[in-house]
Structure 1
Amino acid sequence: MPEDPREREEAARQVVLRQLAMGPRSRRQLERKLADREAEPELVERVLDRFEEVSLVDDAAFAEVWVRSRARGKRLSRRAISRELHDKGVDRDVAEEALAAIEPEDERQAALELVRSKMRGRPAPAADGPEGRAERDKVTRRLVGMLGRKGYGPGLAFGVVKEVLAELDEA
């Protein structure tokens, strides 16, 4: 950071503007970026307060956009998105308000779509005989694991996988 206080403030503003040009950021993310650049805490607070005043930094709006994009684009669960928002420094209450947009049925549908897309074009593994059961168990474990990595709980994951495999058995 430069020596002159006005230059330091301008440099901090430029850092924030570059970060926002790349995409929405939470206040905490911007605080971390400015701290990495060794900006004084008072300067960071002053610059970010000004950006909030003009609505360029808004954690509630950031959380809403993040929830929509991660739920639709990556089909992540509420739990996974909540963890991401926490990592980005979004207040728990703000995050919960944004996450309220995800209905349980929407989450279940997203999990169904994920499993169906993984199984598209593949036959259901046979469930008869030891080798068939072993193959079906392997497919089930992989699909449940994939859903688990996306933040879905085991109960929902097993239920969805069972449903999709039953659909394939009927086809």
Structure 2
Amino acid sequence: MCSLYAYTTIVIYQNCDYTMPVGTITSLHAQINDSQRISVFIDGVFALGISLTTLTREGLYVGKVLSEADYQRLEQTETTEKSLYVALRLLSARPRSTAEIRERLQRKGFTATSIEQTVERLRELDLLDDTAFARLWIENRQTHRPRGVNALRDELRRKGVHRDIVEATLQDDQLIGDETEQAITLARSIVHKYSDSPNRTTFARRMGGYLQRRGFNFDIVHSVIDQLWQEIQHQQEHTQDNDM
């Protein structure tokens, strides 16, 4: 069965006998809706649309003869240009891991070749770096929504960052900060929700669950619970003394 797929002005045929346009470029026209894109006509027939960048890079001009290999290269170059444009828009919204970029481009239907060429180009431009991404992710988390190492590890792995990069980044104590202090600060910000717990067991279950869901390990959670429960008890005793 012959399948036809269209992406803007690029037409791709799959599973059918189709000969790439081969011949002489007879016309190059800026497109009406986008002057940065050029319509290429081969032997008087529209062949494909390309960017001005591709036009310049490939040295195209009216009268130039294109072979089938030339046409295939043009298609691949143009598809990669589109892929790069999409990737740059994604990165302008927020930093992303390599795996995230690959996954989004795959969803938009770009070929594996175009995706890999795009990833390589982004790396050359220093716009795609999983180590930098991991550090930025952790810095943002620890500044705005503190997490324990376990949660940070899980989040970065879900973002597709390689295990070796994740573990190396998590070894930076200065970047991670003091987990116990972070856990205490986080717990104090919501302790009022649990301060009415009738006993330590109930308080430990509620506060412990909250901290564990944010990736803090058992030892840190246990230490924080002990400290905050003592503070709650002290505050209650102080309040009772003032009421007498």
TM-score, normalisation: structure 1:
0.85
1:115 matched residue in structure 2: 187
1:150 matched residue in structure 2: 214
The 1:18/1:101 distance shift into structure 2, 3 A limit, reads same
Output the CA distance in 1 between the equivalents of 2:100 and 2:195. 45
More helix by share: 1
Taking CA–CA contacts closer than 8 Å with sequence separation of 6 or more, which of the two structures ends up with the larger relative contact order? 1
Percent identical across equivalent pairs?
A: 28
**Aligned amino acid, residue 155 of structure 1:** D
TM-score, normalisation: structure 2:
0.61
Output the CA distance in 2 between the equivalents of 1:7 and 1:123. 62
1:128 matched residue in structure 2: none
1:62 matched residue in structure 2: 133
**Aligned amino acid, residue 45 of structure 1:** E
Matches within 5 A, 1:1-171: 1=7, 2-3=10-11, 4-102=75-173, 106-120=178-192, 125=197, 132-133=198-199, 136-171=200-235
The 1:167/1:13 distance shift into structure 2, 3 A limit, reads same
**Unmatched 5+ stretches in structure 1:** 126-131
Output the CA distance in 2 between the equivalents of 1:117 and 1:141. 17
The 1:82/1:95 distance shift into structure 2, 3 A limit, reads same
Q: 1:71-104, CA deviations, whole angstroms, 9 ceiling, x for partnerless residues?
A: 2211111111111111111111211222123468
**Unmatched 5+ stretches in structure 2:** 1-6, 12-74, 236-244
Q: By how many angstroms is 1:138 displaced?
A: 2.2
CA contact (8 A) 1:124 1:165 kept: no
Output the CA distance in 2 between the equivalents of 1:30 and 1:140. 41
More strand by share: 2
- SS of structure 1 residue aligned to 2:80: helix
CA contact (8 A) 1:82 1:95 kept: yes
Q: By how many angstroms is 1:158 displaced?
A: 2.2
More displaced 10-residue stretch of structure 1: 51-60 or 4-13: 4-13
**Cα RMSD over matched residues?**
2.1
Q: How many residues align?
A: 163
The 1:123/1:90 distance shift into structure 2, 3 A limit, reads closer
Q: Which has the larger radius of gyration?
A: 2
